[in-house]
């Protein structure tokens, strides 16, 4: 299939759902024109790219998340199923809470998209549910990688704080190891929708943290403030913990360093020490905070 076809196919798919969108600049409704662009009534225009995603950012963005980081994250996800148990648990929880067979899901800060793709596959194959999926990330390189691997979800480069969605569109807002904007998440959630936020726990990547932050209090991670802030914004339905280890060989350990912001501060010496054993067990220790909209009476 030609690249042109991919752009048009994506535009035609999104056209079915165009009422879900609004202009991120002026908040007017958006229409898809000529299977080429998303255009609001004030003529703000966002073009479909040849890879099928749309860039809906409103200002120039500088981000430290680059192509190497997202390719490494994809490698760790696909080859080593590093986050797969988390995707399985999220799909199970979505299925448990969403009684309908059809639903709308947005992943805010989706990175290279592997989790949203995996969750969608599991929901369809294991739970026989159909979701309209949208992945949003501010980093173009993340969305580019996501669109390259999977054209099923709609992929958007956008700021999760100024998202291009009309109000009350989503049954589920996912937010996995990414920044949040709870006001915006509340706006786009349906009244009976759920937010599922994945946060690191105490031992998340502790082997790498120890190598970088030896003798400092950053060796372990505390999510106390994050959990508190979540509880202030949403009714906490459930906090589900998930902890496991994944054995990685040296090349995968190298990819692990590259796939996380922790890698931005590692020195040559620390990297050498971290890699020299050749094979290591790496701890994934996360929690899923599941919340509902809070209603003021």
Ligand X SMILES: C[S@@+](CC[C@H](N)C(=O)[O-])C[C@H]1O[C@@H](n2cnc3c(N)ncnc32)[C@H](O)[C@@H]1O
Contact residues toward Zn ion (CB under 5 A) are 23, 25-26, 28, 40, 42, 44
The residues in 220-239 that bind ligand X, with binding defined as CB under 6 A, are none
Closest distance of CB 129 from ligand X, Å: 21
76 binds, among ligand X, Zn ion, none (CB under 5 to 8 A by kind): none
Shorter beta-carbon distance to Zn ion: residue 14 or 289: 14
Pick out residues in 152-191 that bind ligand X (CB under 6 A): 159-161, 176-179
40 binds, among Zn ion, ligand X, none (CB under 5 to 8 A by kind): Zn ion
Measured from each CB, the residue nearest to ligand X is 111
Asked whether residue 112 is marked as a ligand-binding residue, the answer is yes
Distance between CA atoms of residues 127 and 79, nearest Å: 24
42 binds, among ligand X, Zn ion, none (CB under 5 to 8 A by kind): Zn ion
Binding residue per annotation — 44? yes
* Cα(219)–Cα(291) distance, integer angstroms: 29
Question: Would the annotation count 135 as a binding residue?
Answer: no
Q: Is 204 annotated as a binding residue?
A: yes
- Whether 76 and 114 have beta carbons less than 8 Å apart is answered as no
Sole binder of ligand X in the list 14, 39, 103, 110 (CB under 6 A): 110
Q: Select the span of 103-111, 202-210, 262-270, 284-292 touching ligand X (CB under 6 A).
A: 103-111
Residue nearest to Zn ion (CB): 23
| 23 annotated ligand-binding residue | yes
Single out the residue of 21, 46, 65, 185 in contact with ligand X (rule: CB under 6 A).
65
Total of chain residues touching ligand X, rule CB under 6 A: 19
83: annotated binding-site residue? yes
Residues at the site binding ligand X, with contacts judged by CB under 6 A: 63, 65, 73, 109-111, 115, 136-139, 142, 159-161, 176-179
């Amino acid at each position: 299939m030609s690249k042109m076809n991919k752009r048009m196919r994506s535009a035609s798919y999104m056209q079915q759902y165009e009422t879900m969108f609004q202009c991120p600049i002026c908040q007017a409704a958006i229409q898809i024109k000529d299977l080429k662009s998303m255009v609001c009534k004030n003529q703000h225009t966002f073009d479909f790219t040849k890879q099928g995603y749309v860039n809906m950012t409103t200002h120039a963005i500088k981000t430290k998340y680059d192509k190497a980081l997202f390719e490494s994250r994809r490698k760790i996800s696909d080859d080593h199923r590093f986050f797969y148990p988390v995707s399985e648990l999220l799909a199970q929880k979505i299925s448990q809470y969403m009684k309908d067979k059809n639903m709308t899901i947005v992943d805010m800060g989706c990175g290279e998209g592997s989790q949203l793709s995996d969750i969608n596959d599991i929901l369809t194959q294991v739970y026989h549910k159909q979701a309209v999926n949208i992945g949003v990330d501010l980093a173009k390189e993340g969305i580019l990688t996501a669109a390259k691997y999977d054209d099923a979800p709609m992929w958007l480069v956008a700021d999760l704080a100024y998202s291009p969605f009309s109000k009350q569109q989503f049954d589920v807002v996912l937010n996995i190891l990414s920044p949040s904007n709870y006001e915006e998440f509340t706006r786009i959630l349906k009244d009976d929708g759920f937010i599922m936020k994945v946060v690191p726990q105490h031992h998340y990547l502790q082997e790498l943290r120890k190598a970088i932050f030896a003798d400092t209090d950053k060796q372990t991670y505390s999510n106390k403030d994050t959990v508190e802030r979540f509880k202030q914004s949403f009714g906490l339905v459930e906090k589900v913990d998930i902890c496991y280890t994944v054995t990685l060989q040296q090349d995968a350990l190298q990819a692990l360093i590259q796939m996380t912001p922790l890698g931005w501060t590692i020195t040559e010496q620390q990297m050498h020490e971290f890699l020299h054993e050749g094979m290591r067990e790496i701890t994934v220790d996360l929690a899923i905070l599941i919340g509902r909209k809070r209603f003021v009476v």
